[in-house]
Amino acid sequence: MRMILFGAIVCLAACDTEAPMIVDFTPTDNADLRGVGHVTIDLTASDASGTAIADLAIDGELRERVTSHACASQCLFSWDWDTRTLPAGEHVLDLRLEDGNGNHETASHAVVLDDVVTVTRLGVHGIVDDVGTLEIEVYVFDDTTNALLGCAGSRNGLGPVDASDIVYPVDGEMIDVANRRLAARELAAHPIRFEVWEDDDPPVCPVSPDPLGNDLVGKSAPATLDRWRAAVGDVAFDGVTNFALKLDRPLDF
């Protein structure tokens, strides 16, 4: 009777061949993390043995190992990830979960990191509007093909810019032609120019302004995104007296 009981006890460990279960893992696969600096990586797991060891690797490099002894039902592993030290593009999060008996499970999620392009200061000169207030919109074009790449208008945080000779602090987050937040990588491969328009039509961003009935305030010289990133303080061109951009994350391209 004692031998049978001893054998059963031994088998509880030796006969455990069930891998730990990954219940949930975020960020999800293919998550778009543009403009996000700190990301919380969460892993919810369970294992019959109660013990689980979780390894987190980012782009193949082991970042941290965490052990929990409370996984018989469910346990949570959580990591704070500062993404701002990594270049824009796709990065891979690898998780390896092992229980106390050597059984393991793995999961891998790819995520995309990027900046978001925001207009932060804007001032114009010598522009009037028939109805008394200005409706300013900012556009960015590929200088070679003239294709519209993105824009920001009153609906995107430029609404306060409604008079000449005033420098406005704004928070105009640019959008692309599909109405998504404009990612820096979408601009990095192009020679780009910015155009500022006084738009007499209803807000048209993300569509190019109609030259008929609308006024071009200023057109910047073409430059790479790196040149714009390196700009210190406000930039002026034509009737634009103050123009400044912000990229949410200090990434290299």
Position 250 scores a pLDDT of 55
Position 15 scores a pLDDT of 65
3-state secondary structure of 134: coil
pLDDT at 248 over 80: no
Instruction: Tell me which H or E stretch contains 123.
Output: strand 117-124
Position 212 scores a pLDDT of 84
- The token pair at 200 is 């007499």
Position 14 scores a pLDDT of 55
Instruction: For tokens 């071009």, name the residue.
Output: 216
For 97-132, letters b (16+ CB in 10 Å) and e give bbbbbebebeeebebbbbbbbbbbbbbbeebebeee
Position 9 scores a pLDDT of 46
Position 128 scores a pLDDT of 85
Yes or no: say if 110 and 94 are a contact pair by the CB < 8 Å rule: no
Q: Rounded distance, CA 237 to CA 97, Å?
A: 56
Yes or no: say if 104 and 19 are a contact pair by the CB < 8 Å rule: yes
Q: Mean pLDDT, to the nearest integer, of 61-74?
A: 93
3-state secondary structure of 226: helix
Using one digit for the tens of pLDDT, what is the confidence trace for 2-12?
444 444 445 55
Residue 244: phi and psi, rounded to 5, are: -140, 145
Average pLDDT, the chain: 88
The Cα-based distances of 78 to 119, 214, 236 in angstroms read: 34, 52, 46
Q: Rounded distance, CA 104 to CA 208, Å?
A: 54
- The token pair at 152 is 């920001």
Position 202 scores a pLDDT of 77
pLDDT at 236 over 70: yes
Using one digit for the tens of pLDDT, what is the confidence trace for 107-160?
999 999 998 899 999 999 999 887 778 999 999 999 999 999 999 999 999 999
Residue 207 identity: V
Residue 12: phi and psi, rounded to 5, are: -55, -35
Q: Rounded distance, CA 80 to CA 98, Å?
A: 21
